[in-house]
Structure 1
Amino acid sequence: MKVVFVEHPCPVLLLGNEPWSPVRTNTWPQSQMTLAAAIANEHDVSILDLRSLESPADWRRQIGPEYLEPIRYSESILLTRHLIGDCKRISDHPADAFVFTANFTSEANAVVEAIRTAKLSWPEALILVGGSDASPEERHAFYFNAGADYIGVGDGDTALPVFLDQIKKGHRPNERIIRGGSAGVNLLNSNFSLVQKARYVESGGGPIHPGIFRNGGFAVYTEISRGCSRECWFCSARMTDLWSPPIDEVLKHLDHIIDSGCRLLMFSDDNLLLARKTEELVTIFRHIRERRIAWEFPNGLEVGLLIDSKRGGFSKELFETLFWNSESLSFFGAHRLLVPIEDALLHRSALRKLKNVQVQIRGLLERLLDTGIPFLNLAIMIGGVQESRDDRERLEDSLELINRWTHSSKTRVNFSIFCTSPLPGTGLGRAALKSKKRLSHNIEEAPELWTVFASILNGDNFTAEQTTQYRRKLLRRFHMSQDEGKVRS
């Protein structure tokens, strides 16, 4: 079978002529590369990337016209919807099956636009869609109505080969849900000739140190584990099985990526420190260090697991291995870490933990800043339904304190202030759907708002718009605004 994996266009919300949230076009198509690797031995595979640009700096000139009705976010805010990338290119790529990945609710309409184009261009082809947004039952109708024939639930790299084998043999299942297990990911067979590698020079975590690509190369999202047994009710990885492949397989996988020219590894594991033992991590990251490339943790680490439970204090060997870095003519080593410094919202909507910020955070920050890591993102969730004025005053006091601690460091410290988002399939998402008065907008009509950059939750004390404006005010106050759309190096 000829199978085309489609990387959908990049959606852009504009407020007037300015982007409403960061615009990232040239990030690694991890899902499509992983899925293509899973079936490459049995099928004719290709990747059609509608998103990445030859020059990311040209992104403004590549924004297309409005393709859907604008979103009235509030009385004073009208957001227009655009795409970077042309879905019509699908008409030049015949296939027996098209595979789409819908991981982010905020990008759902961009995926749907590509699905509809594929269905119109190649009506006999199968349309398959999976990902974190398509998987929850409450989202199935949205994608079926757009033209999807089948929806994948669970790990696609385990389910897709079995499903396509059935299709190849002439057995088209009546059940429209493809269910995957958790047997792991194919780490070894990614074919880098399927994409234009040099295009992928962006990280979802922010800017990239200029020394990394001094001599060329590209940035790759990868994972060496899956799953998280924690119970964070806003997270789609909540209480999923832990899985990690053998060390020798991991090292071969990483060597394969590095040998292909990668200069920055971006680990997207659900909970890396929980899924892998300390001695395994030390072996893996010492190996990467010897290969003299950079790595980062843009999704964050559960930093409490850096503590030695027997001796107290940080696990010296693990800490020094994970965050070692060196800057000469080029940069290699630890490049970025996202630190979740406020976790009270994992279970309730109040910024409680920050009142003890000196005890909890200062020691960690001092150790991290001492490493010289170029970028440190400090993640704080705001906008829970019970959040009070006292909570926000405490938050501002704590951020001011942290800013004083860190402002003279050569590390660029960024406050990653996230609006609490009731993602489909999560406990928070389902609770919000049941209490519709909490939602400022309908997910079917404005999925673009289901993002950490804007709120759609009306709380007891603040409206969704007030929370969004508060987030923007905080970022401006600490000179961390991303109003320019593309984050700057």
Structure 2
Amino acid sequence: MIKPSVKILVGGADAKARPQYYVAAGADIVFRGDVDPAALVEHDWSEPRIVEDYRLPFTALSRPAFHKLGDVARYIDSHDGPVPEGVSTPVGFIYFTRGCPRECDFCESRRTKFEALPLDDAIEMLKHYRDNGIRTLNFSDDNLLLLKRDYIIALFRTLREMGFAWEFPNGLEIGRFMRGEELDSELVGHLFQNTRDPTTGHHVGAYRVFVPVETFDHRAGYKKLKPVETQNRIIGEILKSGIPEINFGVVLGRSADDHTFQNIKNGYDCIKSMVKTYAGVDARYSVFHLIPISLFRSMKTNFSADEFPEGWNFYFPIYDGDHFSAMELFDRRVEVIQSIDPSIDVIMKTGMYAYS
């Protein structure tokens, strides 16, 4: 121990999955949920401790202490790469909801309690961000579109009035834009339309969205997904709004076979043709391997997170599939991506995000 007076607190998804690893590595407290203030007061620090799930009251999270960050102006990127031209910085991460009741088996947030800030608290939080110099927002909500329609409209009207730019890096359940058989074009407009401030040139409104396509051929396994034809209709409406950047993602399950890869290519070719009809829209077409979390926590893997931690990512499988070995899954994924979006191949090799 170099400096025993410094106490080490660890939290997050990985700590939740394997807290003993962090205890062994020297952590004083490992939080498997939110930081529990009582645990800090009660802890005698003589022995490491794992604090089980704790959920901080949501309203207590609505006023981040920006003054403790030092130079907020240094926050110039989202986790999806540099922001487009005209989008002002600094960038702040924000969320108005937490939890998601959906059943997606690859997601760590599956079937968790959904909570939303009262609208007045949400607007006060926006004022707090604005007053601390934040110009651009990344929505970190697990499922923002589970909010009531009136709430969403009031929230995004306020965002525009305050001059914010924003993106949706966690993805949106775009099927929620359907009201029965009708596409809610008005709601799509509130989230995605964007302008330039005539005085400052600052981008106001949405500049980037991740659309989780999830799968083209096993859609019945995820209740949130609409038929592909309906999904593409919604994507067309989003593109019509003039959003500058859009990112699509497919999750490659263990059951992937030859038909899966052909369906990915055909499905993305269709979406790619739609995108090309809208000038000025940059797109990215991703295929992700599973990270063995959530329901897949107990799946058999070729390497543990301790043996090969760098392999536990979206771009490499550390498990064999039902029809292909891990390397065959990887090679097939690279092959289909190179045929659809070569920039993704560049991303993997350079670590630099790009859009085609």
**TM-score normalised by L of structure 2:** 0.88
2:97 paired residue number:
225
For residues 288 and 314 of structure 1, the distance between their equivalents in structure 2, rounded to whole angstroms, comes to 23
1:462 paired residue number:
324
Offset at 1:345?
6.0
RMSD value, Cα: 2.4
For residues 234 and 342 of structure 1, the distance between their equivalents in structure 2, rounded to whole angstroms, comes to 10
Amino acid at match of 1:163: A
For residues 171 and 124 of structure 1, the distance between their equivalents in structure 2, rounded to whole angstroms, comes to 10
For residues 353 and 102 of structure 2, the distance between their equivalents in structure 1, rounded to whole angstroms, comes to 31
1:395 paired residue number:
264
Matched, 1:203 2:74: no
Matched, 1:480 2:349: no
Question: Could you tell me whether the CA contact under 8 Å between 1:247 and 1:280 is conserved in 2?
Answer: yes
Offset at 1:470?
2.8
Q: Identical aligned pairs, as a percentage?
A: 29
Deviating 4+ runs (over 4 angstroms) = 170-175, 343-349
1:76-112 Cα distance to aligned partner (Å, 9 max, x none): xxxxxxxxxxxxxxxxxxxxxxxxxxxxxxxxxxxxx
1:362-385 Cα distance to aligned partner (Å, 9 max, x none): 211211111000111111111x22
2:202 paired residue number:
330
For residues 220 and 82 of structure 2, the distance between their equivalents in structure 1, rounded to whole angstroms, comes to 31
Partner of 1:134, secondary structure, is helix
1:292 paired residue number:
163
For residues 28 and 47 of structure 2, the distance between their equivalents in structure 1, rounded to whole angstroms, comes to 11
Q: Which has the higher contact order (CA 8 A, sep 6+)?
A: 1
| Pairing of 1:10-29 with structure 2 (within 5 A) | none
Question: Could you tell me whether the CA contact under 8 Å between 1:379 and 1:415 is conserved in 2?
Answer: yes
| Pairing of 1:41-440 with structure 2 (within 5 A) | 120-136=1-17, 139-156=18-35, 159=36, 161-167=37-43, 176-184=50-58, 185-213=60-88, 217-274=89-146, 276-309=147-180, 312-327=181-196, 329-343=201-215, 357=228, 359-382=229-252, 384-409=253-278, 410-423=280-293, 426-430=294-298, 432=299, 436=300, 439-440=301-302
Give structure 2 stretches of 5+ with no counterpart: none
**TM-score normalised by L of structure 1:** 0.65
Give structure 1 stretches of 5+ with no counterpart: 1-119
1:44-88 Cα distance to aligned partner (Å, 9 max, x none): xxxxxxxxxxxxxxxxxxxxxxxxxxxxxxxxxxxxxxxxxxxxx
Offset at 1:330?
2.6
Question: Could you tell me whether the CA contact under 8 Å between 1:182 and 1:243 is conserved in 2?
Answer: no
Offset at 1:412?
1.0
Partner of 1:262, secondary structure, is coil
Question: Could you tell me whether the CA contact under 8 Å between 1:163 and 1:178 is conserved in 2?
Answer: no
Offset at 1:389?
0.6
Question: Could you tell me whether the CA contact under 8 Å between 2:92 and 2:134 is conserved in 1?
Answer: yes
Offset at 1:395?
1.5
Classify 1:345/1:480 alpha carbon distance in 2 versus 1 (closer, same or farther; 3 Å).
Answer: farther
